[in-house]
C-alpha cells in the first residue's frame, strides 16, 4: 500500500480564534496585514532547513492552524537574527511572532521531541531563576545530559580548546539579591493570575 | 566620561577576552567604567522563548538598577544590548507590558522611569570619544592587516540605534582609524547561527562555514567581531567546520583586541591567548622619537 498524506489543510483542522489570539499579543498585531510575499522566507538563513517556511508559518498562524504551527520545527530553528523583521514590507515583527509561538509550544508541551532547543530554553530560564546569572559550562552539561548524552563525547576537542584557553569556569555565577529576583518573577505570575 | 558597565554572563565566561581587552582600552582612552552592582542575566534569546513578560522584567531590573545609579548603561554583548533596548521599547510602546514591569519592580522597591540610555561600545567610541581622539592614541598602526568587519545581527537588528541597519560602518571606520585595511565583506550582518551550533549542529556549522569561507576568499587576515557568541562560534567550531568542509580557518578577534594592539598596550593584557585559532599577526614596532634617534646612531 502506498502511504499518502494530505498536503493541504481543511477547515476542520483549524483551532478557531488562534490567529486572533496571537494578533492581540504586543508586537504581533501586524500579522493581519501579511501579503504573503515571501520576503521573510527569502532572507531567512535557516529557511532551507524548515518544514514550513516563515511565510507559511505566518499564513498558518493567521489561518488558525494552531497544531501545525506549534509542532513545526520552524519556530525552533529561528535563531532570532531579525532579518525577516527588518525586511518585511508590511512591518510584521516576524521574530517576535516566532517567540510568541515558542512560548505557547513550551507552555502546552508540544514540540518535536528530538529538538534540544526547547530544553535549552527551559534550562536557561531555570538557571536564571535560581542563580540570577548563567554559568555557560553548567548549562551545556545540563543540555547534553537531558538530550543527547553521547554527543558530548564527540565534542571533546571543543572542550579541550575551551579549557586550554581558560574560557570555562566551574564556579557557579550568582547574584546577591536572589530573593529579590524571585519575588519579581513571582509578581509577574500574580499579575497574570489576577488578569485571567 | 563615565559609564555604568553591564558585562552580562558571556563576558565573564566564554567571552571573557572581550572584557579583558575592552577594559584596558577604555581606561587608556580615559573612560571610566563602573560595573553595575549585582546585575543579573539579561535573559538573552532563550528566556524570550519561555516567557516574554518575565524576560522583560529581568532586563528591567538591570535598567532600574542603572537608573538608580545614575548614568548611561554600556552593554558590549550584542544579546544584552538588544534585550535591554527591546525591553525599553516595550516599556514605552505597550502599556500592558509597562504595567507588568512596574508591578514586578515595585514588589522589591525598585523603579524604572524608562530613561536610561543603553549604549554599545562602538557607539561610545565613535560618537562620544570620536575618531580623532582615537587616532591620536595609535602608536602601532595596523598597517597591512586585512580585516573583515563582522557585526552579526543583534546590534543593528531590529533596532538600528547608532548605525545603518543594512550596511553598518562604525566598526569599519574605527578599524581604518587604527590603520587597518578593511575589506569589503557583504556578510557583515549575516547571522552566525547563535546557539544552533550546539543544538542543530548541521545547520549551525554550515552558517559558520559560510562566514569563514567568505572571509578567507576575500583574503582577510582575521575577522573582527563585536559579539561574544559570534566570536565563540567562528573560533571554537573551526575544527569541526574544517573536518566537514575543508580548511577555512581564519582567526576571529574582538575589535577591542585590535584597538589595544594599535594603542601599543602590552599584548599579554589583551587576551589573545583565549582564542582557539591563534592570531599571530603583529604590527611593526612603534616608531617612538627615541627609537629613531637610536636607529640613526
Does the distance separating the beta carbons of B100 and A188 come in below 8 Å?
yes
Region of B271 (left: φ > 0; alpha: ψ -120 to 50; beta: rest) is left
Confidence of residue A193 (pLDDT cuts 50, 70, 90): confident
Which candidate from B9, B52, B199 shows the least CB-CB separation from A117?
A: B199
| Peptide linkage before B20 cis (omega within 30 of 0) | no
Strand arrangement, sheet containing B181-182: B181-182, B146-150, B222-225, B252-254
CATH 1.10.1060.10 fits A12-107, yes or no: yes
pTM for the whole thing? Answer: 0.93
Q: Which residues of B touch A162 (CB under 8 A)?
A: 14, 236, 276
pLDDT at B70: 86
Per the CB < 8 A criterion, the answer to whether B135 and B177 are in contact is yes
CATH 1.10.1060.10 segments of chain A: 12-107
Is the alpha carbon torsion for B55, B57, B63, B65 positive or negative? negative
Q: Which residues of A touch B57 (CB under 8 A)?
A: 184-185, 187-188
Q: What is the dihedral of CA A183, A185, A187, A189, to 10 degrees?
A: -140
Does the distance separating the beta carbons of A188 and B51 come in below 8 Å?
yes
List, for residues B49-82, the tens digit of each pLDDT value. 999 999 999 999 999 999 998 889 999 999 999 9
Contact of B251 with chain A, judged by CB distance below 8 Å, is answered with no
- Our measurement of the distance from residue B3's CA atom to the centroid of its chain's CA atoms, rounded to an integer in Å, reads 16
pLDDT at A122: 87
Contact of B278 with chain A, judged by CB distance below 8 Å, is answered with no
User: And the C-alpha cell for B132?
Assistant: 580623532
Q: What is the mean pLDDT of residues B280-294?
A: 69
Quick one: which of A101, A89, A25 has its CA closest to A60? A101
Q: What's B33's DSSP letter?
A: E
pLDDT at B293: 46
Per the CB < 8 A criterion, the answer to whether A43 and A83 are in contact is yes
Nearest chain A residue (CA) to B241: A158
pLDDT at A149: 57
Confidence of residue A7 (pLDDT cuts 50, 70, 90): confident
Phi, psi of B73 (to 5 degrees): -95, 130
Contact of B68 with chain A, judged by CB distance below 8 Å, is answered with no
- Above 50 in pLDDT, residue A53? yes
Domains in chain B with CATH codes: 36-119 (1.20.1050.140), 139-274 (3.40.50.11810)
Does the distance separating the beta carbons of B39 and A191 come in below 8 Å?
no
* β-bridge mates for residue B225, sequence order: B150, B254
List, for residues A76-132, the tens digit of each pLDDT value. 999 999 999 999 999 999 999 999 999 999 999 888 777 788 888 888 999 999 999
Least confident span in A112-126, A173-187, B27-41, B170-184: A112-126
H or E element, residue B204:
helix B201-217
Nearest chain B residue (CA) to A147: B199
Percent of chain A with pLDDT over 70: 95
Quick one: which of B249, B290, B251, B283 has its CA closest to B267? B283
Contact of A103 with chain B, judged by CB distance below 8 Å, is answered with yes
User: Distance between CA B105 and CA A70 in Å, rounded?
Assistant: 32
Per the CB < 8 A criterion, the answer to whether B266 and B234 are in contact is no
User: Distance between CA A60 and CA B209 in Å, rounded?
Assistant: 32
Q: What is the mean pLDDT of residues B95-112?
A: 96
- What burial letters (b/e) apply to A60-77, b meaning 16+ CB within 10 Å? bbbbbbbebbbebbbbbb
Q: What is the mean pLDDT of residues B167-176?
A: 98
Quick one: which of B75, B63, B58 has its CA closest to B3? B75
Confidence of residue B140 (pLDDT cuts 50, 70, 90): very high
Confidence of residue A40 (pLDDT cuts 50, 70, 90): very high
More confident: B85 or A166: B85
pLDDT at B296: 45
Amino acid at each position: 500500500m502506498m502511504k499518502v498524506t494530505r498536503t493541504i489543510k481543511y477547515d476542520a483542522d483549524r483551532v478557531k480564534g488562534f490567529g486572533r489570539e496571537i494578533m492581540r499579543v504586543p508586537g504581533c498585531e501586524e500579522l493581519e496585514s501579511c501579503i504573503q510575499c515571501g520576503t521573510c522566507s527569502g532572507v531567512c538563513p535557516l529557511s532551507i532547513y524548515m518544514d514550513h517556511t516563515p511565510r507559511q508559518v505566518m499564513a498558518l498562524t493567521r489561518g488558525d492552524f494552531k497544531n501545525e504551527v506549534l509542532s513545526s520545527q520552524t519556530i525552533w530553528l529561528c535563531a532570532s537574527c531579525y532579518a525577516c523583521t527588518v525586511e518585511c514590507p508590511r512591518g510584521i515583527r516576524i521574530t517576535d511572532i516566532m517567540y510568541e509561538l515558542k512560548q505557547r509550544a513550551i507552555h502546552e508541551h508540544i514540540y518535536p521531541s528530538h529538538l534540544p532547543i526547547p530544553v535549552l530554553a527551559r534550562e536557561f530560564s531555570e538557571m536564571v531563576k535560581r542563580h540570577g546569572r548563567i554559568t555557560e559550562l553548567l548549562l551545556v552539561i545540563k543540555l547534553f545530559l537531558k538530550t543527547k548524552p553521547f554527543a558530548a563525547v564527540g565534542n571533546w576537542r571543543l572542550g579541550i580548546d575551551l579549557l586550554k584557553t581558560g574560557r570555562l569556569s566551574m564556579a557557579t555565577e550568582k547574584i546577591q539579591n536572589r530573593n529579590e529576583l524571585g519575588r519579581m518573577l513571582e509578581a509577574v505570575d500574580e499579575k497574570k493570575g489576577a488578569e485571567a | 566620561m563615565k559609564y555604568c558597565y553591564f558585562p552580562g554572563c558571556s563576558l565573564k565566561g566564554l567571552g571573557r577576552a572581550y572584557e579583558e581587552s575592552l577594559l584596558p582600552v577604555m581606561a587608556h582612552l580615559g573612560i571610566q567604567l563602573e560595573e553595575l552592582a549585582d546585575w543579573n542575566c539579561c535573559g538573552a534569546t532563550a528566556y524570550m522563548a519561555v516567557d516574554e513578560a518575565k524576560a522583560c522584567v529581568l532586563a528591567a531590573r538591570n535598567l532600574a538598577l542603572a537608573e538608580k545609579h545614575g548614568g548611561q548603561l554600556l552593554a558590549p554583548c550584542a544579546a544584552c544590548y538588544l534585550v535591554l533596548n527591546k525591553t525599553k521599547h516595550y516599556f514605552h510602546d505597550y502599556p500592558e507590558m509597562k504595567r507588568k514591569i512596574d508591578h514586578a519592580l515595585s514588589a522589591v522597591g525598585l523603579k524604572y522611569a524608562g530613561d536610561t540610555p543603553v549604549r554599545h561600545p562602538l557607539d561610545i567610541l565613535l560618537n562620544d570619544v570620536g575618531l580623532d581622539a582615537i587616532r591620536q592614541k595609535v602608536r602601532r598602526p595596523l598597517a597591512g592587516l586585512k580585516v573583515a568587519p563582522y557585526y552579526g545581527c543583534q546590534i543593528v537588528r531590529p533596532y538600528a540605534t547608532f548605525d545603518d541597519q543594512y550596511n553598518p560602518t562604525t566598526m569599519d571606520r574605527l578599524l581604518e582609524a587604527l590603520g587597518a585595511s578593511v575589506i569589503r565583506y557583504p556578510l557583515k550582518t549575516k547571522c552566525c547561527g547563535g546557539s544552533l551550533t550546539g543544538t542543530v549542529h548541521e545547520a549551525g556549522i554550515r552558517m559558520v562555514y559560510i562566514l569563514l569561507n567568505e572571509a578567507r576568499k576575500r583574503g582577510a587576515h582575521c575577522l573582527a567581531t563585536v559579539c561574544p557568541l559570534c566570536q565563540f562560534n567562528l573560533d571554537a567550531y573551526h575544527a569541526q567546520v574544517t573536518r566537514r568542509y575543508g580548511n577555512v580557518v581564519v582567526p576571529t578577534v574582538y575589535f577591542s583586541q585590535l584597538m589595544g594592539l594599535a594603542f601599543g598596550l602590552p599584548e599579554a593584557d589583551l587576551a589573545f591567548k583565549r582564542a582557539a585559532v591563534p592570531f599571530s599577526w603583529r604590527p611593526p614596532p612603534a616608531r617612538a622619537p627615541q627609537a629613531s634617534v637610536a636607529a640613526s646612531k
